[in-house]
């Protein structure tokens, strides 16, 4: 790719973990709407539950997540009590015939919870909702300081997939991001989880961090391969200091430029593919036998707020501060400030701060964008079977698609197009051509590369 094109397509775009994207949520949707939407869920509907734990004990300077640093356990215990209230409040409004197929705890660091509290939280979900026998239960785990007791509790709670934050093992990189995480500790946590029957291991890696170069990323990948993960996420560092003030601890001058970021991403991807991983969507890799690789291959992979997933549930219910839910009617997001969230759920209330009710063309465009993010190809005839007549969408996007083809991002076919290897990194920019709201949006996003 030429430097000019790279600069052009590296322009900020949304991550398309939802459509419309979160900046379009508004206060017009609140607890009352959520209550109605929950009551409308059909008795046989499948559910996915997301629980957000917005605490960590130290701050990684790159962090873009909703989290708060605490050295004391009291705020975590108070938060857990609020979560229990919210779980009971939502569960009481959902038809008991609904079946939970996926549970995901994210953060922050859910593993800030002590062993007994990990069990208490999973117990609350299990007693509030009906779980399918083969439900997946995934937890984001910061391995630093994780105890044997916590690992025992996670296993006892029925954890099926552990998602381990790594980022980079190089000491110079770790110092520059304020995250000291020895390889040996990470290895022992993964071994402990596997010994206790948690068979599926995901790891998070990042590129575009300060002090990173291809040699260091290559060395990290070599170490990661010895851990035999089932899936790897490879995230490009999103440097958004206007939203996350602490990222100012990472000087712009220590960061790779767009060309170096692109080279790092492609280098890491090549290494992982050579090691036998299937490259999936924008930023995921999985062993060919992993369910995500199979879903990607047979066109059933989905994309939600956690990224690429096998989760096909009819509704995603979010719990905790900042958590987002997706129901057939639209999106809801809880209050982000922890105190506001706790106040709202005390006494059995719901904590929705804003949301979005689907209207007009939204669901059709959402489906198109999700399929493009997942399949990296688009067949108009297949799409028309799913969302009806696409003449308008074809007409509106024709000019942009011609430009993508001239720039080598897509390969046109008789009935649509496929994203080229070169275009994969820019699939979000291709999706942006189908986003009816983007031109009107003042939201600032992170770079596409
Ligand atoms: C909630 S954390 C994972 C669990 C745990 N808190 C940890 O860090 O080990 C989610 C992941 O998001 C990614 N992440 C965080 N901040 C990011 C940023 N600014 N840009 C890109 N990825 C980021 C990291 O790979 C991180 O592991
Ligand atoms: S990356 Fe994970 S551990 Fe680090 S501050 Fe963010 S949420 Fe906490």
Question: How do residues 163-182 score in pLDDT, each as one tens digit?
Answer: 999 999 999 999 999 999 99
Q: What is the pLDDT of residue 8?
A: 87
Q: What is the pLDDT of residue 219?
A: 98
Domain boundaries, given as residue ranges, for the chain: 22-319
Closest approach atom of ligand 2 to CA 59: 5
Give bridge partners of residue 272 from the DSSP assignment. none
If DSSP codes are grouped into helix, strand and coil, which group holds residue 202? strand
Which ligand is nearest to the Cα of residue 164, counting in written order?
1
- Which residues have CB under 6 Å of ligand 2? 56, 59-60, 63, 65, 67, 107-109, 142, 165
CA 142 / ligand 1 centre spacing (Å): 10
Residue ranges of the chain whose pLDDT lies below 70: 439-448
Closest approach atom of ligand 2 to CA 64: 6
Mutate to test the pocket of ligand 2, among 56, 168, 181, 203 (most ligand atoms within 8 A of CB): 56
**Superfamily of domain 22-319, CATH level 4:** tm_1862 like domain (3.80.30.20)
- Say what the alpha-carbon torsion angle 71, 73, 79, 80 is, to the nearest 10 degrees: 140
CA 52, distance to chain mean position in Å, is: 12
* DSSP-H helix ranges across 307-426: 338-345, 362-375, 380-387, 391-406
Mutate to test the pocket of ligand 2, among 61, 71, 141, 142 (most ligand atoms within 8 A of CB): 142
If DSSP codes are grouped into helix, strand and coil, which group holds residue 266? helix
Mutate to test the pocket of ligand 1, among 65, 154, 202, 205 (most ligand atoms within 8 A of CB): 65
59 lines ligand 1 (CB under 6 A): no
The packing angle between helices 74-91 and 338-345, to 10°, is 40
Q: What is the pLDDT of residue 443?
A: 60
């Amino acid at each position: 790719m030429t430097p000019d094109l790279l600069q052009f397509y590296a322009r900020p775009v949304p991550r398309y973990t939802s459509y419309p994207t979160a900046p379009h949520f508004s206060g017009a949707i609140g607890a009352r709407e959520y209550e109605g939407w929950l009551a409308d869920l059909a008795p046989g509907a499948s559910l996915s539950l997301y629980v957000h734990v917005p605490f960590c004990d130290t701050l990684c300077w790159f962090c873009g997540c909703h989290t708060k640093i605490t050295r004391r356990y009291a705020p975590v215990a108070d938060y857990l009590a609020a979560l229990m209230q919210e779980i009971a409040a939502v569960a009481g409004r959902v038809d008991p015939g609904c079946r939970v197929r996926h549970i995901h705890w994210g953060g922050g660091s859910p593993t800030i919870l002590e062993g007994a509290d990990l069990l208490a939280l999973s117990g609350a979900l299990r007693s509030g909702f009906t779980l399918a026998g083969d439900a997946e239960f995934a937890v984001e785990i910061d391995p630093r300081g994780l105890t044997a007791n916590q690992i025992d509790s996670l296993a006892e709670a029925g954890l099926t997939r552990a998602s381990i934050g790594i980022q980079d093992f190089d000491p110079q990189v770790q110092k520059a991001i304020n995250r000291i995480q020895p390889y040996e500790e990470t290895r022992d946590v993964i071994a402990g989880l596997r010994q206790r029957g948690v068979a599926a291991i995901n790891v998070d890696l990042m590129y575009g961090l300060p002090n990173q170069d291809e040699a260091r990323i290559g060395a990290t990948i070599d170490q990661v391969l010895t851990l035999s993960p089932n899936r790897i996420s490879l995230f490009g560092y999103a440097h958004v200091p206007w939203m996350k003030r602490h990222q100012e601890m990472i000087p712009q001058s220590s960061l790779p430029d767009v060309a170096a970021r692109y080279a790092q991403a492609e280098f890491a991807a090549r290494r992982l593919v050579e090691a036998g991983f299937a490259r999936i969507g924008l930023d995921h890799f999985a062993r060919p036998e992993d369910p995500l690789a199979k879903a990607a291959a047979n066109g059933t992979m989905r994309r939600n707020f956690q990224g690429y997933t096998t989760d096909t549930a009819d509704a995603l219910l979010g719990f905790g501060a900042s958590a987002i839910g997706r129901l057939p009617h639209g999106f809801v997001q809880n209050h982000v400030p922890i105190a506001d969230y706790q106040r709202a759920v005390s006494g059995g209330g719901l904590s929705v701060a804003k949301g979005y009710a689907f209207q007009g063309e939204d669901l059709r465009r959402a489906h198109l964008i999700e399929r493009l993010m997942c399949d990296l190809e688009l067949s108009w005839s297949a799409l028309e079977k799913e969302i009806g007549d696409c003449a308008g969408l074809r007409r509106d996007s024709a000019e942009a698609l011609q430009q993508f083809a001239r720039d080598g991002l897509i390969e046109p076919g008789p009935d649509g197009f496929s994203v080229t290897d070169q275009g994969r990194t820019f699939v979000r920019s291709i999706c942006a051509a189908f986003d009816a709201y983007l031109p009107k949006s003042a939201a600032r996003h992170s770079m596409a590369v």
